[in-house]
Structure 1
Amino acid sequence: MMKEKTVYVCQNCGASFPKWAGRCPQCGEWNTLVEKVVEVRKTSPRTLITPTSEPVPITAVPSEDVTRIEIPMLELNRVLGGGIVPGSVILIAGEPGIGKSTLLLQLASMLARESSRPVLYVSGEESVRQIKMRAARLDVREENLYILAETSLEQILNHIERMEPFVVVVDSIQAIYSEYLESTPGSIVQVRECAYAFLKMAKSTGTPVFLVGHVTKAGDIAGPKVLEHAVDAVLYLEGDPFHAYRILRSVKNRFGATSEVGVFEMEEQGLREVPNPSEIFLAERVPNASGSAIAVTMEGSRPLLVEIQALTSPTSFAIPRRTANGIDLSRLLLLIAVLTKRVGLHLSDQDVFVNVVGGIKIKEPAVDLAVAVAIASGFRNVPVAADLAIVGEIGLVGELRGVRQMTQRLAEAARLGFKKCLVPSGSVKAGQRTFDGMEVVPVRSLEEALDIALVR
């Protein structure tokens, strides 16, 4: 027996409630609850359900070696963990205009060139002519690449069943809708059901699917959180729109390591891979300039050397400004407090600006020491040694704490020609003073590090 029931569903988080409210109790967003009538089936608690599956011992499950699809785009290959797993669903998200469609159109072109089977690119936001214009700019002309401008889920699945493509790209999941649902495209219900339909198709046919996802103002993927849980991999394409570099970051990957990154440069002909990003980020560095320090950071398993710039100037306001570009603002406030309390720098009347050159965003605390050295260098107007690389996390009492993957960091700094590297004493073996011809300088405190780093 079916019974109708009225519930109110939040269009931001997908939670449902029996009564309407102006603010969603689950996510805190305002005016997001929409009325929905659902049918509830009454069942007897004593009804027995005949099982359709049987539990098996894990030792009885046969092991299968999955053959990945190699991608000619090596940076994307790295982020995915070595290639595309057949039947996987990969979600790529990013801000508008960051290059998601460009990246996937280039990928579709490469796969169409390598495969004898067709590659299907589905667009719910652009016409075929608009995609053709972008393809001409990117020099995409493979006959095996098929373009479909469609927003109906059922029509798309029919085309996939008929064509049996090698790979499917859907741009974007928020533009696709099912004709059997009454809600509008992009709503919580539509995004969830369309994503599950593509997921079911991919698992049953072994066809990899790339989904493009929109992001909200807060930087989260638009739609229900279940979308990120359902897919096999979630990739974020990041970058400053005023810089040419783009970072493709893996935040979820069932078939590889997370936090891996690929670096691209946006050019007129599309996204170009950057195989050696450290050299690119340091190419325009001005040596012996005060307020500049070189940090050795890790993005996944890849070491990167980036320039940290800091500027201090007397403030004209009662409360000094603190501006951070590329690092977390709360982390910057912590480092300023440590410099003031433990080192004696009087920054209470100084505006402090910190920037990571190249437009990349760094989240790991191993750049703390480089940021603090750059601030002290700018405040004292004393340059940092030009051949010095810096790595280390700073504690609240001014001590330097060890960081992971020190061997890879030192190897990258030595490869780029740095003569010295300032490291926490707890991150290297006792007595180690060199690495591949580079001097390793272990220090225990921030004050000791500043005495070594700043040129007298």
Structure 2
Amino acid sequence: MARATDTYVCQSCGAVYAKWAGRCDACGSWNSIEIEEGASAPPGSLSASAAASKGRAIELETLDGDVKAEARLPTGNAEFDRAVGGGLVPGGALLIGGDPGVGKSTLLLQIATGLAERGTRTLYLSGEEATAQIRMRARRLGLTKSPMSLATGTSMRDILATLKAEKPQAVIIDSIQTLWSDSLPAAPGTVTQVRSCAQELVRFAKNTGCVLILVGHVTKDGQLAGPRVVEHLVDAVLYFEAETGRSFRILRAVKNRFGAAHEIGIFEMTGGGLKEVPNPSALFLGEGGEPATGAAIFAGIEGTRPLLCEFQALVSPSTLGAPRRAVVGWDSARLSMLLAVLDTRCGMDFGRHDVFLNVAGGLRISEPAADLAAVAALLSSRLDTPLPEKLAIFGEIGLSGAVRAVPQMDTRMAEARKLGFEKILCPNGADGDKATSRRRVEQAADVVAYVKSLA
């Protein structure tokens, strides 16, 4: 018979240890390793009764069976539906995280009322706020007439009993860290409790076809708190992001089994709640006017949506031994690489200059297609030459200095054309509409020559 041993679990990341330690080697947290109460046997061991019983053979099937396509549940919020892939899927489980105060509860209350007004039996269950607080928010948002059901509680046993009795079609839990199961001696919010409660709720959603939306807290690093297994249990993981001092919010899907990952929905926070932004390119572009040096318009793609934004660069002579490099909204390592390419392949020296690069509007860009726009903005500031008006730019630059093609080039040009951009600076190989004036480039040196010709 296997001897019972104690198991120690990091309450920040869920890493398991055989003995206690002051620091977690997996995430670096101090004093976060605690004993997992209720563990009576080491992992992988079986009890005597379980070892004596025989398992039941699982029925095997082939790939050519009939598939019943479930109709999605529209929420009435086009940006939310876009982020989740076109609507909520019955039996699907979603996990939404975000910083405190970003508007998660406001968004989900609007989603819950939108579902209820379209005939979906919806239950909003809060473990953090009292009923009076939720009603005050609903009154401020003008949602008090919605037929949505509301409840508060944290006991997992009571919640499951309520769900089995009410049989809702959609359930919103705010938040998973507040729930606790009396079958476990651990405190609410610990790894054991979060994992157990999430498993029970996801199992209920899969068995009944109910849509489950969970709210998760985030750590100081911006990651969802709790064990990583919770993100693997659910079908979609979304982050609700906000830039300090900005009124817009971005709902970004980092995992989605029913739609495109990295799809985004954009909202604007107002006194009446979160409003959809149907034309985000206009939100992130400047006000227009006279062309300024160091400004370049990038035609990007976020998920499946084309999005235009402005890159701003400032290059100034440095008096320091090590010139400064500051980047906001883009990858600093990517900037260092492009500066090395411009120096080595194009003869443009930035070694005695401070370089500052910013994506206007607080947007964060991660795709390599922004290389050409960043380089154009840097050259425009370095040569003190404004780029032409109504010019959109996209393209990836390799270490050899070659400008490489990027995905969905025609979609980028169509979006730029729709917003009145008549000129495109892009890699060779783009087709697009012949009515758009395009300048195809093959090398980074071509971009340098193009900017110099504007002087």
TM-score range, shorter chain: over 0.9
Displacement after TM superposition at 1:42 (Å): 5.1
Q: Distance in 2 between matches of 1:170 and 1:285?
A: 44
Task: Quote the residue 1:446 is aligned against.
Answer: 444
Task: Quote the residue 1:169 is aligned against.
Answer: 172
Q: Distance in 2 between matches of 1:379 and 1:238?
A: 33
Displacement after TM superposition at 1:166 (Å): 2.6
Displacement after TM superposition at 1:39 (Å): 0.7
Indicate conservation of the 8 Å contact 1:398/1:445, yes or no: yes
Is the counterpart of residue 13 in structure 1 residue 13 in structure 2?
yes
Q: Any gaps of 5 or more consecutive residues in structure 1?
A: none
Q: Distance in 2 between matches of 1:249 and 1:165?
A: 27
Q: Distance in 1 between matches of 2:282 and 2:5?
A: 62
Indicate conservation of the 8 Å contact 1:183/1:189, yes or no: yes
Task: Quote the residue 2:115 is aligned against.
Answer: 111
Displacement after TM superposition at 1:74 (Å): 1.0
Secondary structure of 1:450's match? helix
Displacement after TM superposition at 1:225 (Å): 0.6
Task: Quote the residue 2:40 is aligned against.
Answer: 39
> What pairs up with 1:193-232 in 2 under 5 angstroms?
193-232=196-235
Q: Distance in 1 between matches of 2:124 and 2:22?
A: 40
Secondary structure of 1:189's match? helix
Q: Distance in 1 between matches of 2:120 and 2:75?
A: 15
Indicate conservation of the 8 Å contact 2:96/2:240, yes or no: yes
Secondary structure of 2:414's match? helix
Displacement after TM superposition at 1:104 (Å): 0.6
More displaced 10-residue stretch of structure 1: 283-292 or 373-382: 283-292
Q: Distance in 2 between matches of 1:345 and 1:86?
A: 57
Q: Distance in 2 between matches of 1:77 and 1:369?
A: 32
Q: Structure 1's 209 and 441: CA in aligned 2 closer, same or farther, altered over 3 A?
A: same
> What pairs up with 1:414-453 in 2 under 5 angstroms?
414-425=417-428, 427-428=429-430, 435=433, 437-453=435-451
Task: Quote the residue 2:193 is aligned against.
Answer: 190
Displacement after TM superposition at 1:53 (Å): 4.2
More displaced 10-residue stretch of structure 1: 408-417 or 146-155: 146-155
Is the counterpart of residue 128 in structure 1 residue 141 in structure 2?
no
Q: Structure 1's 313 and 359: CA in aligned 2 closer, same or farther, altered over 3 A?
A: same
Q: Structure 1's 165 and 142: CA in aligned 2 closer, same or farther, altered over 3 A?
A: farther
Indicate conservation of the 8 Å contact 2:423/2:437, yes or no: yes
More displaced 10-residue stretch of structure 1: 20-29 or 399-408: 20-29
Q: Distance in 1 between matches of 2:218 and 2:171?
A: 21
> What pairs up with 1:57-456 in 2 under 5 angstroms?
57-59=61-63, 61-115=65-119, 117=121, 119-425=122-428, 427-428=429-430, 435=433, 437-453=435-451, 455-456=454-455
| 1:387-410, Cα deviation, whole Å (9 max, x unpaired) | 211001111222211111111111
Displacement after TM superposition at 1:286 (Å): 4.2
Q: Distance in 1 between matches of 2:12 and 2:149?
A: 34
Query: TM-score under structure 2 normalisation?
Result: 0.93
Q: Give the share of equivalent positions with the same residue, in percent.
A: 44
Secondary structure of 1:293's match? strand
Secondary structure of 1:209's match? strand
Q: Distance in 2 between matches of 1:202 and 1:42?
A: 28
Indicate conservation of the 8 Å contact 1:422/1:441, yes or no: yes
Displacement after TM superposition at 1:44 (Å): 7.0
Secondary structure of 1:275's match? coil
| 1:182-237, Cα deviation, whole Å (9 max, x unpaired) | 22221111111111111011111111011111111222111111011000111111
Q: Distance in 2 between matches of 1:361 and 1:58?
A: 44
- Give the length in aligned residue pairs: 450
| 1:348-402, Cα deviation, whole Å (9 max, x unpaired) | 2322211111211111010011011111111221101112110011112222111
Displacement after TM superposition at 1:45 (Å): 12
More displaced 10-residue stretch of structure 1: 223-232 or 136-145: 136-145
Indicate conservation of the 8 Å contact 2:74/2:115, yes or no: no
Displacement after TM superposition at 1:283 (Å): 4.8
Displacement after TM superposition at 1:56 (Å): 1.7
Letter in 2 for 1:103: L
CA RMSD of aligned residues (A): 2.1
| 1:305-347, Cα deviation, whole Å (9 max, x unpaired) | 1111111223343322211111111112212222233333332
Q: Distance in 2 between matches of 1:203 and 1:330?
A: 43
Q: Distance in 2 between matches of 1:389 and 1:12?
A: 44
Q: Distance in 1 between matches of 2:319 and 2:128?
A: 48
Letter in 1 for 2:390: D
More displaced 10-residue stretch of structure 1: 138-147 or 256-265: 138-147
Displacement after TM superposition at 1:174 (Å): 1.3
Q: Distance in 1 between matches of 2:433 and 2:8?
A: 62
Q: Distance in 2 between matches of 1:332 and 1:59?
A: 47
